[in-house]
Chain A
Amino acid sequence: EVQLVQSGAEVKKPGESLKISCKGSGYSFSTYWIGWVRQMPGKGLEWLGIIYPVDSDIRYNPSFQGQVTISADKSISTAYLQWSSLKASDTAVYYCARQNFWNNYYYYFDYWGQGTLVTVSS
């Protein structure tokens, strides 16, 4: 069974750093892109970026590049999302998701983690 299990909820102060994780199991982790999606309270879904664990090729959403860092450790089937200096506006639920593909070019997120709530407040 394919599963993506994310790390637990975090409460941080503005200016602090944070790294959240997403561990895959039940499939060959290295051979699927993993994406990160943000959902601010009461709002819609925002695509942050994706990483290919085999070679750590990363595609960022330009709107978020420099604000977050995506990484992966294929040896432990885990992807990461990190911040060096959190802001209150980073408060959101962050989802990881596996990017599957059909017919080589049609990409979609077929399995999702349970979400990690990040709260940034002084």
Chain B
Amino acid sequence: DIQMTQSPSSLSASVGDRVTITCRASQTITNYLNWYQQKPGKAPKVLIYASSSLQSGVPSRFSGGGSGTDFTLTISSLQPEDFATYYCQQSYSTPRTFGQGTKLEIK
């Protein structure tokens, strides 16, 4: 199985900040990488697929990048509704494993 490791595990930031979350795969996954946002008590929501493609309806302040084994999710200017937990997921092979999550909290 491909292991996905996110860093940091938690992050405190303020409204308006630019934040970047990193995801590393245990082997190359080219650009088969998705990002999800999950708020407490809710189902996850896809933000980015294929490393950098923005899902329809997702604000443009979210962006993704990377290829091979190292990937990033960047939020250019944090909004109050962005405080949530973020997960990466590889779709290169089954099982399509998730990272352990990054909890983004208000500073």
A residues at B contact (CB < 8 Å) = 35, 37, 44-47, 49-50, 59-63, 95, 97, 102-103, 105-110, 112-115
Contact = CB atoms under 8 A, between A and B. Distances in A.
Interface in B1-59: 1, 31-32, 34, 36, 38, 43-46, 49-50, 53, 55
Contacts of B99: 44
A106 B49 contact: yes
B95 interface: yes
Contacts, number: 71
Contacts of A103: 50
B35 to A, nearest CB: 9
A47 B98 contact: yes
B98 A44 contact: yes
CB-based closest 7 A-B pairs: A61-B95, A112-B43, A108-B49, A106-B50, A107-B91, A45-B98, A108-B34
A-side interface mostly: strand
B96 interface: yes
Interface string B89-101: 1010011111111
B33 to A, nearest CB: 9
A63 B4 CA distance: 16
Nearest to B95: A61
Contacts of A108: 34, 46, 49-50, 55, 89, 91
B49 to A, nearest CB: 4
A94 to B, nearest CB: 11
A102 B1 contact: no
A91 to B, nearest CB: 16
B62 interface: no
A113 B43 contact: yes
